A = this chain, B = another copy of it.
Amino acid sequence: WCVVDRGGVDSLKREFRFADFASALAFTNRVGALAEEAGHHPALLTEWGRVTVAWWTHAIGGLHRNDFVMAARTDRAYETISEDDGPDS
C-alpha cells in the first residue's frame, strides 16, 4: 500500500494482479462486499488482469484507522482468492 494524494486528500492505494478480466472483476465484487458490510467505500479501478484499490475517509478528508483496517481486509480477500484459484501474482 502507498499513501497517494487524490485531489488533496491522502488515500491508501494498492494494485492487485489477476490472470484475466473476469478474475479482476470477481475481486472488485469481493472488495465491494467488504465495503458494503463496513459501510465504508473505496475507489476500485478494474482493468484486464488488474484491480487498483484506494481507501480514504471522505468525512475527514484523509486517512483514518478504519482505512488501514479495510486495507488489511482487502489483502486478506486477495490471499483467499489466491488460495482458491492458485497463485496469480
CB-contacts of A42-77 with B (<8 A)? 42-48
A interface, CB within 8 angstroms of B: 21-22, 25, 28-29, 32, 35-36, 41-48
4 closest cross-chain pairs (CB), A and B: A41-B48, A44-B46, A25-B32, A21-B41
Question: Shortest Cβ distance from A21 into chain B, in angstroms?
Answer: 5
- Which residue of chain B has the shortest Cβ distance to A21 in the bound complex? B41
Q: Can you give 16 A-B contacts (C-beta < 8 A)? A: A21-B35, A21-B36, A21-B41, A22-B32, A22-B36, A25-B28, A25-B29, A28-B28, A28-B44, A28-B46, A29-B29, A42-B47, A44-B45, A44-B47, A45-B45, A45-B46
